[in-house]
Amino acid sequence: MSSHVQRRDFLKLVSAGLAQSLAGAGKPVKIGLVGVGNRGTGLVKILLDVPGVEIPAICDINEEHLQNAQAIVEKRAGKRPEGYSSGPEDYRRLVAREDLDAVMTATPWELHTPVAVAAMKAGKYAATEVPAAITVEQCWELVNTSEQTGMPCMMLENDCFGRGALMALNLVEQGVLGEVIHCEGGYDHDIRAGLLRNGELSWRGMHALRRNANLYPTHPIGPIAWWTGINRGDRFTYLTSMSSKSRGLSHYAAKHFGPDNIYAKRQFADGDVNTSLIMTEKGVTVTLNHDTQLPRPYSDSGDTKIPLMVQRLQGTEGIFFGSLEKIYIDGRSPEHKWGDTGPYYEQYDHFLWKALGEAARSSSHGGEDYVELHQFVRAVRNKIQTPVDVYDAATWSVIVPLSEQSVASKSAAVDFPDFTRGKWKNPRPLNLGL
């Protein structure tokens, strides 16, 4: 048989598989949602765009949020989901339903682990918004429950699925950047208005009031962990962390709600800027920033792009500056001059974006939410491991309490737990597919 015929037949098979995937062939995947505020409602809308998904049940103690989400599903799917709103633990009735394949939570952070654990114990796939846990003990609870039940737990770290992050993964895997040496990431985003809403502290603001740490590390660290093979051939070994003084939120409260506002007079624990340094077993270094309490513009349009995320990847052959869509490859780029990433997308665009990009681009966060949820649904449908697994969820989330410990100890080094119990030594591919 000629190679031309083999290639033609192969492409037919690929096309057929892709069409089947996009059509959501087979039994529908039934997902229950817990927590449908702003982010949870967004997840509902995206899930309804993913072929072959049904949402039979929704839980939220806020009746307005619950009814709004129920109405969205009913309008789109023709059937109103059953609602659960009888107290903060009514999610336990939802996870006990026999018709659900998976449970997804977008509650405040404190409930992420309890809901995910309950879902896994009920024999369901678990998906949780970030961070998956806020204490070391919760991280271990997620890992132990997943191992004991055999049920996957995926943290919904959407930045892993961005077009630039996945293209960078291709650059690493194909050796374009050489050996990875250092990465930089940062969640640099002015969210003061969300922490102090109309002069009142939100649930998220309560963490800033009480904890001094990198409170939101998973967006930058997720792609970095994939690029560096964390838990898949390498591991984070220790970190050291320090925080600046805290002025941003009290200053914001005084400026917008008056000097007599209670939070204008309160001392917030969380420093306005936290900087953490992480070392891996193989000697890769990571700089991780958290900056959410000071003025900072954000724009993803126009001539100047000021990014929400800091994202840099440095190798022996070049550097990828994802947040500015710039790249430099030694011997390929003009000497000492940044180049645009456009030509590299043409050559190294990830297969997920080639297949799903058109459908993804109309969804939130530049389409990465759609690609992420598509991959979760694929895993549930095929009863396989999720791309972001429970070891990733624990390793990325544990940066919150570890950085808190380090800051409190004058930036002393704090060791990472090995949630894989040594399995990180065996390289394994990311479970991505169509």
What are 210's strand-pairing partners?
none
pLDDT for residue 7 is more than 70: no
User: pLDDT tens-digit profile of 92-117?
Assistant: 999 999 999 999 999 999 999 999 99
List, in sequence order, the alpha helices (H) in 24-134.
38-49, 63-77, 91-95, 112-121
One-letter amino acid of 44: V
What is the b/e burial string over 264-303, where b = at least 16 CB atoms within 10 angstroms of the residue's CB?
beeebbbbbbbbbbbbbeeebebbbbbbbbbeeeeeeeee
Q: Is residue 287 part of a domain?
A: yes
Is there a single domain that holds both residue 192 and residue 339? yes
Q: Is residue 371 part of a domain?
A: no
Q: Is residue 142 part of a domain?
A: yes
Q: Is residue 313 part of a domain?
A: yes
- Average pLDDT for residues 348-365, to the nearest whole number? 93
Is there a single domain that holds both residue 209 and residue 345? yes
Confidence of residue 309 (pLDDT cuts 50, 70, 90): confident
- Average pLDDT for residues 262-289, to the nearest whole number? 98
Q: Is residue 57 part of a domain?
A: yes
Q: Is residue 294 part of a domain?
A: yes
Q: What is the CATH classification number for the domain harbouring 219?
A: 3.30.360.10
Residues 260 and 265: their CA atoms lie apart, in Å, by 7
pLDDT at site 200:
96
Is there a single domain that holds both residue 152 and residue 173? no
User: pLDDT tens-digit profile of 14-25?
Assistant: 344 444 554 556
Question: Which of the listed residues 156, 179, 194 is the one where a domain comes to its end?
Answer: 156
Residues 216 and 149: their CA atoms lie apart, in Å, by 28
Q: What is the CATH classification number for the domain harbouring 79?
A: 3.40.50.720
- Full residue range of the structural domain in which residue 138 is found: 3-156
pLDDT at site 10:
35
Is there a single domain that holds both residue 312 and residue 394? yes
One-letter amino acid of 346: E
Question: Considering its fold, how many domains does the chain have in total?
Answer: 2
Residues 274 and 269: their CA atoms lie apart, in Å, by 12
Question: Which of the listed residues 156, 180, 203 is the one where a domain comes to its end?
Answer: 156
pLDDT at site 12:
41
Residues 370 and 357: their CA atoms lie apart, in Å, by 9
pLDDT at site 300:
55
One-letter amino acid of 287: T
The region of weakest confidence among 66-75, 172-181, 301-310, 341-350 is: 301-310
Is there a single domain that holds both residue 170 and residue 277? yes
CA 235 to chain CA centroid, nearest Å: 19
Is there a single domain that holds both residue 183 and residue 308? yes
Is there a single domain that holds both residue 174 and residue 51? no
User: pLDDT tens-digit profile of 33-92?
Assistant: 999 999 999 999 999 999 999 999 999 999 999 999 999 999 999 999 999 999 999 999
Is there a single domain that holds both residue 143 and residue 199? no
Is there a single domain that holds both residue 258 and residue 123? no
Query: Taking the C-alpha atoms of 111, 117, 121 and 122 in order, what is their torsion angle to the nearest 10 degrees?
Result: 40
Is there a single domain that holds both residue 77 and residue 132? yes
Is there a single domain that holds both residue 112 and residue 148? yes
What residues contact 1, with CB distance under 8 A and at least 6 apart? none
Assess contact for 64 and 87: CB atoms under 8 A.
no
User: pLDDT tens-digit profile of 373-423?
Assistant: 999 999 999 999 999 999 999 999 999 999 999 999 999 999 999 999 999
Q: Is residue 360 part of a domain?
A: no
Question: Which of the listed residues 156, 190, 209 is the one where a domain comes to its end?
Answer: 156
Can you read off the two tokens belonging to residue 109?
A: 């952070």
Is there a single domain that holds both residue 92 and residue 176? no
Q: Is residue 363 part of a domain?
A: no
